[in-house]
Amino acid sequence: MRYLSLSPIRSVFRRVAGKWTATGLVVCLISMLLLLSAWNTGENLLYIIFGGSLGLLVISSVSGRMNLSGLDISVDMAPAVHRGDPLPAHVELRSRRWLLSAFSVRVILEGDAVEPTVAHVLRVPPRARAMVDLDLSFKRRGEHRLDSCRLRSAFPFGFYTREKRFVLANRVLVYPRVYPVSITPFERGMGAMVRARRNDEEGDEYFSLREYQPGDDIRRIVWRVSARLGTLVVREMGLGTLKTVIILIDDSGIRGPEDLERFELAVEYAASLAVAFIHKQYEVGTAAGNTSGIAPARGSLQEHRILEWFARVQPAGQDGGELLLERLARLRSEPARILCVSHRLDPGTLNLPQSCPVISPVEVATDG
C-alpha cells in the first residue's frame, strides 16, 4: 500500500488542541491553587513549588506537540479473510524528522466490524521506521473498510493526549467462515433424487439403444449394431450421475435478528458445502432468490468467486419467497443438482418440490 493522505482540517485540530487527561487536570488545578496560596501568603516555598508544577505543564505541552510531528504511516494487509480468522495488518511508522525521536506512540487501527487494535511503539528514532504487526479480526462477513489509523501519544507526562489521524482506503472482503462438511450423504442421494431423464443434448452416460426415429441426430447412429440388426439404431444418452451442483440459498423470510443470525449460519454452511464440492472436483454454482448467482464451474478460481459471492449475498427481507420459487423454477431446467440451504427451522414451509432437497443448518447442527 501507499502512504496515506491526511485531512488537513482534522489534523490541525487534533494537533493543536489535544485532550486533557485526568492527571493533567489535577496538576492544572493544583498549580492554580498553589499560585493563589502563594499570592495570598507570600510564601516563597509555594512559589517554588508552583514554578516546578508550571514547568512540568510547559514541558508537557511543548514536547507533546513535537512528539507526533513528522510521523507518517503505511498499512499493508491482505484483501480478504474468512470471518473470525485473524487478518495480519502490517503498519509501518516512518519518521521524517532529523533530530528528535518520537516516544511512546500508540498505533490504533479501527474500522467497521472490527475492534480497535492497539500497538505500542516505545521510540521511533529520527529517520527510522517502526514496523508493527497487528491482527485484525472481523466479526461479520461482507465488504468492510478500515476507517482510520490513529497515532496517539501522552508523552512525556501524561497530562495531554495528542492524536494524529490518518484516513485509510483499505477495503477487506470478509468471507464467511468455512468448515469441513461431509458431502457423502448428498452424493448418495443425488442419483436417487434426480430423475434420470433423456436429454439429447447433454449427458455423459450411455443410456440405451433404440430404433432410429426421423429427426434423430445421425451422429448417434450406432453403425455396427445397425449393420448387424439390419435396421438403423441410435444411441440414447442419459444424465446418469451429474457432477454439477447449484447451491440455492434461501434469502427470504428474514423477519428479525434471530432469522438473520440463522441466515448467517446458513450462508456459512452453504459456503462450506460449496467448497467441499469444489474440492471433490464438482462444478459448483450458486443462486439466491434476490441475487443473481454464479454459473457452475470447477477449480480454485471458482472457489474464490463462490466465496466472494457468499461474502456479498444479503437477505431479501420478509418477502422474497416468490422470487426464490421463480429462481428455482428456472434452475430446474439446468442439468445440475440443486441443493437448497435455508435458515428456516421448518424447511417444509418453503414448499419446494421433492426433487430439491432443503437443508437447514440448524438441523445439521443438531444431528452433528
Partner 1 sequence: MVDLRQAMRGAIYLALFGGFLALASVRVYGPLMAVVPTVLIALNLLAERWEAYRVFRQFKTVISLLYALFIPLSVVLMGLLQAVISLVIFITCYLLLGRLTVKSCYELLLMAFFLVLGAVVQSPEPLIAVALVILLLSVVWSFALLTVQADRLAATASRPAVVVDSRSMVINDTWQLWYVLGTLALVSVVALVLGGVLFLFTPRVEAGIFGRADYQRAVTGLTDKVRLDGGMSIYQDTSAVMHVEFPEEPEGVLIPADALYWRVTTLSRFDGAEWSRYQVPAQGREVPIIWPFANGSGLVQIGKAVQRDPVQGRRLVRQEIFVDDVPTGALPVLDLVQYVALEGDERNPRTVQWDPGGDYTVLLNARGPRRLTYQAVSELFQPSPETLATASWTVTDLSETILQVLLYHDLLESTRARIDEVTRNARTPYEVMLTLVNWLNGPDFTYTLDLPPLPPTHPIDAFLTQTRRGHCELFATALALAARYKGIPTRVVNGYRGGDYNPSERAYIVRANMAHLWVEAYFQGVGWVRFDPSPRSDYTATGFAYIRQRWSQQLLLAKMFWYRNVMGFQGGWRLDTLVEQLRQGHGEGGGTGALEVFLKFTSPDRRGRIALPATLVFLVLCAGVVLGLAWRVFWRNQSPYDRVILNLHQRHARWLLRGLRRKLERVGVDTRGLTSEELLTRAASVPALDREALRWLLAYYEQARFGGGNMTFRDFWRLRGVPILRGAERQHNR
Binding site for partner 1 (CB under 8 A): 23, 26, 30, 35-36, 38-43, 45-52, 54-56, 58-59, 63, 93, 101, 103-106, 117-125, 127-135, 153-159
Stated as kind and residue range, the H or E segment containing 12 is helix 8-17
CB closer to partner 1 out of 129 and 228: 129
CB closer to partner 1 out of 43 and 204: 43
Our measurement of the distance from residue 315's CA atom to the centroid of its chain's CA atoms, rounded to an integer in Å, reads 16
Residues 6+ apart with CB under 8 A from 50: 31, 34, 35, 38
Rounded to the nearest whole angstrom, what is the least distance from the CB of residue 96 to partner 1 in the complex? 11
Rounded to the nearest whole angstrom, what is the least distance from the CB of residue 172 to partner 1 in the complex? 18
Q: Which amino acid is located at 76 in the chain? A: D
| DSSP secondary structure code for residue 138 in this structure | B
Rounded to the nearest whole angstrom, what is the least distance from the CB of residue 34 to partner 1 in the complex? 9
Distance of alpha carbon 348 from alpha carbon 137, whole angstroms: 36
Rounded to the nearest whole angstrom, what is the least distance from the CB of residue 152 to partner 1 in the complex? 8
Q: Is 182 helix (H, G, I), strand (E, B) or coil?
A: coil
Distance of alpha carbon 315 from alpha carbon 333, whole angstroms: 25
Q: Are 236 and 209 in contact (CB under 8 A)?
A: yes
Q: Residue 237 corresponds to which cell in the numbers above?
A: 444418452
Residues 302-318 as b or e (16 or more Cβ within 10 Å = b): bbebbbebbbebebbee
CB closer to partner 1 out of 28 and 356: 28
Question: Which residue, chain included where needed, has cell 432468490?
Answer: 289
**Distances from the Cα of 1 to the Cαs of 87, 168, 170, 284, 288, in angstroms?**
15, 10, 9, 34, 35
CB closer to partner 1 out of 109 and 172: 109
CB closer to partner 1 out of 160 and 186: 160
Rounded to the nearest whole angstrom, what is the least distance from the CB of residue 108 to partner 1 in the complex? 9
Rounded to the nearest whole angstrom, what is the least distance from the CB of residue 75 to partner 1 in the complex? 14
CB closer to partner 1 out of 20 and 157: 157
Q: Which amino acid is located at 95 in the chain? A: S
CB closer to partner 1 out of 55 and 185: 55
CB closer to partner 1 out of 13 and 39: 39
Distance of alpha carbon 218 from alpha carbon 216, whole angstroms: 6
Q: Residue 308 corresponds to which cell in the numbers above?
A: 466472494
Rounded to the nearest whole angstrom, what is the least distance from the CB of residue 138 to partner 1 in the complex? 15
Rounded to the nearest whole angstrom, what is the least distance from the CB of residue 31 to partner 1 in the complex? 10
